[in-house]
Structure 1
Amino acid sequence: MRWLNPNQSNPTLTQLLDRILTSGEIDRSEYLKLMSMILSDSQITDAQRSEINRIFDYVQTGRFTLIDL
């Protein structure tokens, strides 16, 4: 999977979010990419920010599996 650059178009982020939410699995590199997106204050929509936060909540509560590749 390619590194998500905050300057890339949002469909790449949207595709990543959809894949994670559909599969219920996220690897550590994807987790770090999403964390970076949130902390960098990049241009993401409120809906995307909400989905990222939901993924983080699901990982913390064990609803999503954090996998190592």
Structure 2
Amino acid sequence: MRTSHNKSNLTISQMVERIVASGKLTRRENLVLTSALLSDDKISEEDRHQINRIFDYIQIGRLKFID
């Protein structure tokens, strides 16, 4: 996810909104979000919070994986 900070924020925010609205997470989206957290690129605290919210929702069963 090597994009400018603003574009990266927009992409993560849009992805999180779509995932939460649908209640579904694709394997690819999971990979993108996990990579964003683990990459050397700096992500904002808001992005980190949004991504962690997705992972929390998976744990409590609010989201499910789809292929």
Q: TM-score, normalised by structure 1?
A: 0.79
- Given that 1:6 and 1:37 are in contact with CA atoms closer than 8 Å, whether structure 2 keeps it comes out as no
Q: Which residue number corresponds to residue 18 of structure 2?
A: 19
Displaced runs of 4+ in structure 1, greater than 2 A?
none
How many Å separate the matches in 1 of 2:16 and 2:39? Answer: 17
SS of 1:48's partner is helix
- Give CA-to-partner distance per residue, 1:15-54, whole Å, 9 cap, x none: 1111112211110110011000000142321111111001
Task: State the shift of 1:6 in Å.
Answer: 3.1
Structure 2 segments unaligned to the other structure (5+ residues)? none
Report how far residue 60 of structure 1 moved: 1.9
CA distance in 2, matches of 1:52, 1:41: 16
Gaps of 5+ in 1: none
Aligned twin of 2:46: 47
The count of corresponding residues between Structure 1 and Structure 2 is 64
Question: What is the CA RMSD across the aligned residues, in angstroms?
Answer: 1.4
Q: Does 1:32 align with 2:31?
A: yes
